Amino acid sequence: MSTAVSPLAVPFPDMPPIAGVAFATAAAGIKYSDRRDVFLALFQPGTTVAGVFTRSKCPSAPVDWCRAALAGGSARALVVNSGNANAFTGRKGRATTEAQAALASAAAGCRPNEVFIASTGVIGEPLDPAKFAAVLPDAASRVAEGPWIDAARAIMTTDTFPKGATRTVTIGGVPVTINGIAKGAGMIAPDMATMLSFVATDAAIAAPALQALLSQGVQHSFNAVTVDSDTSTSDTLLLFATGRAAGAPAITDPTDPRLEAFRVALDEVLTDLAIQVARDGEGARKLLEVHVTGAASDESAKRVALSIANSPLVKTAAAGEDANWGRVVMAVGKAGEPADRDRLSIYFGDIRVAHEGERDPAYSEALASAYMKNDVIVIRADLALGNGKARVWTCDLTKEYVAINGDYRS
Amino acid sequence: MSTAVSPLAVPFPDMPPIAGVAFATAAAGIKYSDRRDVFLALFQPGTTVAGVFTRSKCPSAPVDWCRAALAGGSARALVVNSGNANAFTGRKGRATTEAQAALASAAAGCRPNEVFIASTGVIGEPLDPAKFAAVLPDAASRVAEGPWIDAARAIMTTDTFPKGATRTVTIGGVPVTINGIAKGAGMIAPDMATMLSFVATDAAIAAPALQALLSQGVQHSFNAVTVDSDTSTSDTLLLFATGRAAGAPAITDPTDPRLEAFRVALDEVLTDLAIQVARDGEGARKLLEVHVTGAASDESAKRVALSIANSPLVKTAAAGEDANWGRVVMAVGKAGEPADRDRLSIYFGDIRVAHEGERDPAYSEALASAYMKNDVIVIRADLALGNGKARVWTCDLTKEYVAINGDYRS
């Protein structure tokens, strides 16, 4: 496994405490030695929760657990581990989630269905609940309001840098903060992936409203990122609202106008984290931002954008710094969406390389090649059919991706 | 570009002449120097034709040409070139196909719509018709009944070995032969890819019946092969029937019982060629045969099989000789088809590694790892839900794939 940090890494931000959230990390020795691999967060009573999960038909045991627990709308504890996904582990897997919930509910003094669980790592290996029994009580005795970078590090698998984002805005004049962490970095595809992200705020928002905000926010952030088109069994995005910001108004309606800044900030946190996941795509050397404009609809634009972003030929061309727009045409064509070859234009950055069905007469190969040397490459396809548009992010496909995934288990 | 021959290459077969077919190859210098890059075939009057093409919404000019010409049902000439796909070339592209058809129809003494055209190679570069004017008249004067390997070589791009298949069977007691050639090797995905294949027989079969046979035969052959999920602008499979086998009965009904052996032989030729394309997948070191059984329907099984076969994580695991069945579970789950995690079994070859939702207790990692060292790996997923089944072929995903595609144009 590679140990070099992605050249696209961004610094971890300064993240302030969130009133009502305390956490600790621990080294349970689940797979990795010499590192902390468990993250335990405790939430004050009254914390609401929302979640979005993988669409896999073979979800992990923790995903099943969280989906069921979410119905209660209340959260008091979160237990996350890296190194083992507790997926495709049958009855043993369900027993492990029950044991994790029992341990955490004892520590937090809450009901088991107020405990949320996420696991990431190898699929199909039993996850021993004794590993949690050995560390959770002690971790619960050590919880503190920071540092968030420790939590971000504890949930990493093949990630090469910890991922965090934070925003502070006001709701009804009261400052509230949103902190989020995430891990990638392979098996990342729309509708989530082995992507775990945990976001907490001290705003006071009822669970149904929180869910509405999250479900909407995920569409243009985590659901617009793909690394390799593979969808994990374990994708989990949870949003916790403690309501502990002093004086924060209690919001129950997701369309409440007082939420305007909060909604924008939440979307920014989610998008920031999602792009960091693409920046840390396995083996990534370049971040690709794919814009599709002029599509028949926004939905059509997104399918075309994902077809481009998931194309191995587009991604390897980017790795080779090759302005191979013909492959972008191919990817537009294979999407199966309305497209007219003879109206299509393709841009790399501001350079229009193809226009109305053929190479742009003014196209400079030298300029386009120079552009491809950038770390961040914007590819735009304008279909010139309608007003639909979409933006998705991915990374290039390098030999390092193959190396990382060719010997992940060994 | 790699020049090493795929370790999965198979020998080119001895291919007998097809009565009514004569061909020649020529070096037109379209992209490659020092090799023949044009293939011209002439068919005797009365030759019928069937075709299947890419589903891309941005097809190449030759695909547009062939689709229109196919309506006539009659073929007298075929012009193929490698090195330039004449795709996304706008009005110039259409003009080039018209020029090619004029040259070939003059040589063959036929109507332009009896000429079929295919081009493979770089997208978006104008294809100069003068290249064909310079070689087609001479080629037409040199046509002969073989050797077929010359034709197979002339249509190669990143292929590392020429691909051919042949069968001889009887129709109504009369021996007839089917010869086919194909080229891959990247941008190969179901519903064809930059895959060109040309099949000829001396059987006498009316065009509509020929089309029915071809459309059916392609489902379990070329439409069951994927290299990288990318679909080309140029996929073309053409089947020509000269009717010149002495005494061959004229068949007009695709369900004619006299066609039984022919149908089987045609399917074998198509499947043989399709598997050769997977064997020559860019950078391939292993051939993967994916079987899905127990699915809700055959269609559902095929979607699950393609989800497995297109998964970069499954393909990189194969490259790493890693029996990572967890990724197969992931790929089953992401297909979106009916699947029950707790009934699923996964096999590598005859080794059952997972059963009823968890690792098979009898599973031997050592045996599975030894199996993964084979050149041909059979992955089976049994969903235990119904009787649907499907089989698809692909290859592993190696660093060489990235290298080949990272600097294809340069």
Q: What is the mean pLDDT of residues A266-282?
A: 92
Residue B172 near residue B16 (C-beta atoms within 8 A): no
Please give, one letter per residue, the 3-state secondary structure of A276-309.
HHHHCCCCCCCEEEEEEEEECCHHHHHHHHHHHH
Please, how many CA atoms are within 13 Å of residue B277, restricted to the half-sphere of its CB? 35
**Distance from C-alpha of A390 to C-alpha of A402, rounded to nearest angstrom:** 29
SS3 B262: helix
List pLDDT tens digits, range A353-396.
999 888 898 888 899 999 999 999 999 999 999 999 999 999 99
Q: Which amino acid is at A112?
A: P
**Distance from C-alpha of A105 to C-alpha of A97, rounded to nearest angstrom:** 12
- What lies within 8 Å, CB to CB, of A361 at 6+ separation is none
Residue B208 near residue B376 (C-beta atoms within 8 A): no
Residue ending a domain, choose from B279, B311, B345: B279
Amino acid A382: pLDDT = 97
Indicate the DSSP class of residue B259: G
Backbone angles phi, psi at B176, to 5 degrees: -130, 155
**Distance from C-alpha of A203 to C-alpha of A245, rounded to nearest angstrom:** 6
Q: Which amino acid is at B200?
A: A
**CA–centroid distance for B91 within its chain:** 28
pLDDT above 70: residue B148? yes
Mutation for testing the B interface, residue in A402, A407, A408, A410 having most B CBs under 10 Å = A402
Please give, one letter per residue, the 3-state secondary structure of B153-171.
HHCCCCCCCCEEEEEEEEE
Residue A358 near residue A316 (C-beta atoms within 8 A): no
- ipTM of the predicted assembly exceeds 0.95: no
pLDDT above 80: residue A408? no
Shared-domain flag, residues A253 and A354: no
> Which residues of B fall within a CB distance of 8 Å from A228?
312-313
Is residue B6 situated within a structural domain? no
> Which residues of B fall within a CB distance of 8 Å from A312?
228-230, 312, 397, 401, 405
> Which residues of A fall within a CB distance of 8 Å from B281?
none
Which domain does B325 fall in, by range?
287-406
Find the CATH number of the domain harbouring B161: 3.60.70.12
**Pick from B316, B307, B296, B372: nearest CA to B334:** B307
Is residue A3 situated within a structural domain? no
Backbone angles phi, psi at B262, to 5 degrees: -65, -45
Shared-domain flag, residues A352 and A237: no
Is residue A7 situated within a structural domain? no
Chain B residue at shortest CA distance from A410: B322
A57 and B338 within 8 Å at the Cβ level: the answer is yes
Mutation for testing the B interface, residue in A63, A233, A316 having most B CBs under 10 Å = A316
Amino acid B230: pLDDT = 60
Q: Which residues of B are annotated as a binding site for substrate?
A: 157, 183, 194, 282, 405, 410
Question: Could you tell me the pLDDT band of residue B348, with boundaries at 50, 70 and 90?
Answer: very high
Amino acid A330: pLDDT = 85
> Which residues of A fall within a CB distance of 8 Å from B63?
none
A231 and B330 within 8 Å at the Cβ level: the answer is yes
Q: What is the mean pLDDT of residues B255-267?
A: 96
pLDDT above 60: residue B191? no
B59 and A341 within 8 Å at the Cβ level: the answer is yes
Please confirm whether the linkage preceding B185 is cis (ω < 30° from 0): yes
Amino acid B108: pLDDT = 95
Residue ending a domain, choose from A246, A279, A312: A279
- Higher pLDDT pick, A195 / A345: A345
What's the gap in Å between the CA of A220 and the closest CA on chain B? 20
- pLDDT exceeding 90 applies to what percent of chain A? 71
> Which residues of A fall within a CB distance of 8 Å from B325?
124
> Which residues of B fall within a CB distance of 8 Å from A338?
57
Please confirm whether the linkage preceding A16 is cis (ω < 30° from 0): no
Give one DSSP letter per residue of A142-168, joined into a string: T-BS--HHHHHHHT-SS-SS-EEEEEE
**Pick from A83, A229, A156: nearest CA to B315:** A229
* Calculated CA dihedral for residues A258, A260, A262, A265, nearest 10 degrees: -160
Find the CATH number of the domain harbouring A364: 3.10.20.340
CA distances from A357 to A248, A284, B59, B95, B182 (A): 56, 31, 11, 14, 28
Q: List alpha helices for B109-177, DSSP H.
A: 130-133, 136-141, 148-154
A87 and B358 within 8 Å at the Cβ level: the answer is no
B358 and A124 within 8 Å at the Cβ level: the answer is yes
> Which residues of A fall within a CB distance of 8 Å from B186?
313
Amino acid B2: pLDDT = 46
Residue A282 near residue A228 (C-beta atoms within 8 A): yes
Amino acid B102: pLDDT = 98
* Calculated CA dihedral for residues B263, B268, B271, B273, nearest 10 degrees: -120
CA distances from A38 to A78, A135, A359 (A): 10, 8, 53
**Distance from C-alpha of A140 to C-alpha of B14, rounded to nearest angstrom:** 74
Letter string b/e over residues A358-387, b meaning 16 or more CB atoms within 10 A of that residue's CB = bbbeebeeebbeebbeeeebbbbbbbbbee
B401 and A316 within 8 Å at the Cβ level: the answer is yes
Strand duo A250-251 + A204-205: pairing: parallel
Of B88, B124, B322, the CB nearest to A406: B322
Chain A residue at shortest CA distance from B85: A326
List pLDDT tens digits, range A213-254.
999 999 889 888 876 556 677 889 999 999 999 999 999 999
B187 and A313 within 8 Å at the Cβ level: the answer is yes
**Distance from C-alpha of B263 to C-alpha of A304, rounded to nearest angstrom:** 38
Of B58, B331, B406, the CB nearest to A339: B58
What's the gap in Å between the CA of B157 and the closest CA on chain A? 15
Shared-domain flag, residues B192 and B337: no
Q: Which residues of A are annotated as a binding site for substrate?
A: 157, 183, 194, 282, 405, 410
Residue with tokens 């949930």: A155
Please, how many CA atoms are within 13 Å of residue A202, restricted to the half-sphere of its CB? 22
Shared-domain flag, residues A300 and A263: no
Shared-domain flag, residues A234 and A339: no
Give one DSSP letter per residue of A18-30, joined into a string: -TTEEEEEE---S
Number of domains into which chain B is organized = 2
Shared-domain flag, residues A245 and A326: no
Is residue B11 situated within a structural domain? no
Residue B196 near residue B183 (C-beta atoms within 8 A): yes
Could you count the other beta carbons within 10 Å of the beta carbon of residue B409?
Answer: 17
A90 and B406 within 8 Å at the Cβ level: the answer is no
> Which residues of B fall within a CB distance of 8 Å from A85?
326
Of A58, A335, A336, the CB nearest to B329: A58
Q: List alpha helices for A54-174, DSSP H.
A: 61-70, 90-108, 130-133, 136-141, 148-154
A88 and B341 within 8 Å at the Cβ level: the answer is yes
Shared-domain flag, residues A299 and A254: no
Share the mean pLDDT of chain B: 91
Amino acid A136: pLDDT = 97
What's the gap in Å between the CA of A325 and the closest CA on chain B? 8
**Distance from C-alpha of B146 to C-alpha of B164, rounded to nearest angstrom:** 13
Shared-domain flag, residues A292 and A179: no
What's the gap in Å between the CA of B340 and the closest CA on chain A? 7
Is residue B9 situated within a structural domain? no
CA distances from B157 to A20, A44, A302, B256 (A): 63, 64, 32, 38
Amino acid B1: pLDDT = 41
What's the gap in Å between the CA of B39 and the closest CA on chain A? 24
Question: Could you tell me the pLDDT band of residue B186, with boundaries at 50, 70 and 90?
Answer: low
Q: Which amino acid is at B258?
A: R
**Distance from C-alpha of A186 to C-alpha of A405, rounded to nearest angstrom:** 9
What's the gap in Å between the CA of A372 and the closest CA on chain B? 12
Chain B residue at shortest CA distance from A87: B326
Shared-domain flag, residues A248 and A308: no
**Distance from C-alpha of B235 to C-alpha of B89, rounded to nearest angstrom:** 16
Is residue A4 situated within a structural domain? no
Is residue A10 situated within a structural domain? no
**CA–centroid distance for B140 within its chain:** 26
B358 and A57 within 8 Å at the Cβ level: the answer is no
Could you tell me how many residues make up chain A? 410
Residue with tokens 């969280």: A66
List pLDDT tens digits, range A6-63.
889 999 999 999 999 999 999 999 988 889 999 999 999 999 999 999 888 888 999 9
Shared-domain flag, residues A128 and A275: yes
Q: What is the mean pLDDT of residues A316-325?
A: 90
pLDDT above 80: residue B317? yes
Q: What is the mean pLDDT of residues A125-152?
A: 96
- Higher pLDDT pick, A407 / A290: A290
Is residue B342 situated within a structural domain? yes
Choose the catalytic residue: B47, B194, B236, B271: B194
How much helix, strand and coil, in percent to the nearest 5, is found in chain B?
Answer: 35, 25, 40
Q: How many CB pairs under 8 A join A and B?
A: 232
> Which residues of A fall within a CB distance of 8 Å from B337?
57
> Which residues of A fall within a CB distance of 8 Å from B231?
330, 333-334
B322 and A88 within 8 Å at the Cβ level: the answer is no
Between helix A298-309 and helix A325-334 the angle, nearest 10°, is 130
Indicate the DSSP class of residue A115: E
Q: What is the mean pLDDT of residues B278-284?
A: 86
A354 and B88 within 8 Å at the Cβ level: the answer is yes
Indicate the DSSP class of residue B144: B
**Pick from B196, B181, B176, B183: nearest CA to B264:** B176
Give me the numbers of helices (H) and strands (E) for chain B, helices first please: 12, 17
CA distances from A399 to A219, A321, B302 (A): 30, 14, 29
Q: Which residues of B are annotated as a binding site?
A: 157, 183, 194, 282, 405, 410
List pLDDT tens digits, range B204-241.
999 999 999 999 999 889 888 876 556 677 889 999 99
What's the gap in Å between the CA of B365 and the closest CA on chain A? 11
pLDDT above 60: residue B192? no
Question: Could you tell me the pLDDT band of residue B40, with boundaries at 50, 70 and 90?
Answer: very high
Of B330, B358, B397, the CB nearest to A402: B397
A326 and B124 within 8 Å at the Cβ level: the answer is yes
Residue ending a domain, choose from B247, B279, B311: B279
A406 and B317 within 8 Å at the Cβ level: the answer is yes
Q: Which two tokens stand for residue A106?
A: 């004892």
Shared-domain flag, residues A352 and A386: yes
Chain A residue at shortest CA distance from B186: A313
Catalytic positions of A are: 194
Shared-domain flag, residues A259 and A295: no
